[in-house]
């Protein structure tokens, strides 16, 4: 996690990055996971360490999910991020940001290890496994439950099928807002349910919960950039337009073809079944509009329906932009 993000703070502080998809499609997944996590922990205040905290996205997500008092420490190896976060949250009590790397022995024992924005993907797979195993074993020595939220890039996102065979590859943050013309680039690791589960099994600790959640299967930011899959429809932009009630959107443009690439049978079967459900919902919307006409309210309702469809179908395999694991270590 040593990549410099010089200049990237502008993206994380830009209001433009919180588009409708982020607010209504992606963030509710985080809120749901954090609500689950907080249901297991007992701290008052809840002691939180946010891994790869950046400018404090995880803190904002956490505070939207709970009104419980927090003792929050955000750690990040990038000094610019730490400086920006410290300045941004200077008036907050119980909130601090420090320059640190989760791979180091930090002598921390929070109730909740938080992460948001796939910071764990900055680690190569060996560092990921070693670090997560150590963290889970340390948590098992506590006398109360510890929740660990591990946020990574999904191995089999439709945004990058040409990289499905690669565990780690050069990733460009070309979706950054207000961060200049030269996108931040860094080697990043992608993960599946199985790669995270392997580390959990190696840790061999008592668990109260182990859950996997796919986030943004169809509407990841690289559907807009096309950086890794040229020709992929701009699903995110189209769905944002639906949320805005845009009646000019051509619904057939949202048709979903199952992505193809090197993947396990479970992944291939999921995409085939999900694409059929998605396209059937679009066909129904077209029939309704042919009979009743296009209206902004129907477009907004369709966006909400497609979101509910994805949330209900996502299998937690690593088929979205993000794969988030919730691991709760029992005392």
What is the residue-averaged pLDDT of the chain? Answer: 93
Please give the pLDDT value at position 179.
46
Closest CA to 30 of 54, 62, 7: 62
Mean pLDDT score, 78-91:
93
Crossing angle of the two packed helices 193-203 and 125-140, in degrees rounded to 10: 40
Measured in residues, the chain has a length of: 331
Please give the pLDDT value at position 186.
87
pLDDT band at 1 (very low <50, low <70, confident <90, very high): very low
Cα–Cα distance between 112 and 180 in angstroms, integer? 35
SS3 annotation, 225-277: HCCCCCCCCCHHHHHHHHHCCCCCCCHHHHCCCCCCCCCCHHHHHHHHHHHHH
Residue 207 has pLDDT above 50, yes or no: yes
What is the percent of the chain where pLDDT is above 70?
92
Please give the pLDDT value at position 233.
97
Beta bridge partners of 115: 51
Please give the pLDDT value at position 181.
57
3-state helix, strand, coil in the chain (%, to 5): 45, 20, 40
Mean pLDDT score, 172-182:
57
Mean pLDDT score, 210-220:
98
Residue 163 has pLDDT above 50, yes or no: yes
Mean pLDDT score, 235-258:
98
Least confident of 10-19, 44-53, 117-126: 10-19
Mean pLDDT score, 300-311:
98
Residue 2 has pLDDT above 70, yes or no: no
Cα–Cα distance between 57 and 74 in angstroms, integer? 10
Residue 180 has pLDDT above 60, yes or no: no
Tokens of 159: 């945004």
């Amino acid at each position: 996690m040593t990549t410099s993000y010089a200049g990237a703070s502008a993206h994380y502080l830009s209001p433009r990055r919180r588009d409708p998809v982020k607010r209504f499609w992606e963030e509710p997944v985080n809120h749901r996971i954090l609500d689950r996590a907080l249901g297991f922990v007992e701290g008052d205040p809840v002691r939180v360490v946010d891994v790869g905290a950046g400018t404090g996205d995880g803190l904002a997500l956490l505070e939207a999910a709970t009104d419980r008092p927090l003792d929050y420490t955000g750690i990040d190896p990038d000094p610019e991020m730490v400086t920006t976060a410290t300045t941004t949250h200077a008036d907050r009590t119980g909130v601090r940001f420090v320059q640190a790397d989760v791979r180091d022995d930090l002598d921390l024992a929070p109730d909740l290890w938080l992460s948001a924005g796939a910071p764990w993907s900055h680690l190569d797979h060996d560092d990921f496994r070693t670090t997560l195993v150590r963290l889970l074993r340390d948590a098992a020595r506590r006398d109360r439950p510890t929740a660990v939220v591990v946020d990574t890039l999904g191995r089999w996102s439709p945004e990058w099928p040409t990289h499905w065979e690669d565990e780690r590859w050069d990733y460009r943050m070309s979706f950054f807002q207000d961060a200049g013309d030269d996108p931040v680039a860094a080697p990043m690791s992608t993960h599946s349910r199985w790669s995270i589960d392997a580390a959990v099994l190696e840790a061999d600790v008592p668990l109260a919960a182990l859950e996997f959640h796919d986030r943004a299967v169809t509407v990841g930011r690289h559907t807009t950039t096309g950086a890794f899959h040229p020709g992929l429809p701009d699903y995110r932009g189209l769905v944002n337009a639906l949320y805005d009630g845009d009646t000019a959107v051509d619904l057939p443009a949202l048709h979903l073809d199952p992505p193809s690439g090197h993947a396990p049978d479970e992944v291939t079967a999921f995409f085939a079944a999900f694409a059929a459900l998605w396209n059937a919902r679009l066909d129904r919307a077209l029939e309704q509009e042919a009979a009743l006409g296009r209206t902004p309210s129907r477009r907004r309702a369709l966006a909400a329906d497609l979101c509910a469809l994805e949330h209900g179908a996502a299998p937690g395999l690593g088929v979205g932009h993000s794969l988030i694991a919730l691991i709760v270590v029992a005392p």
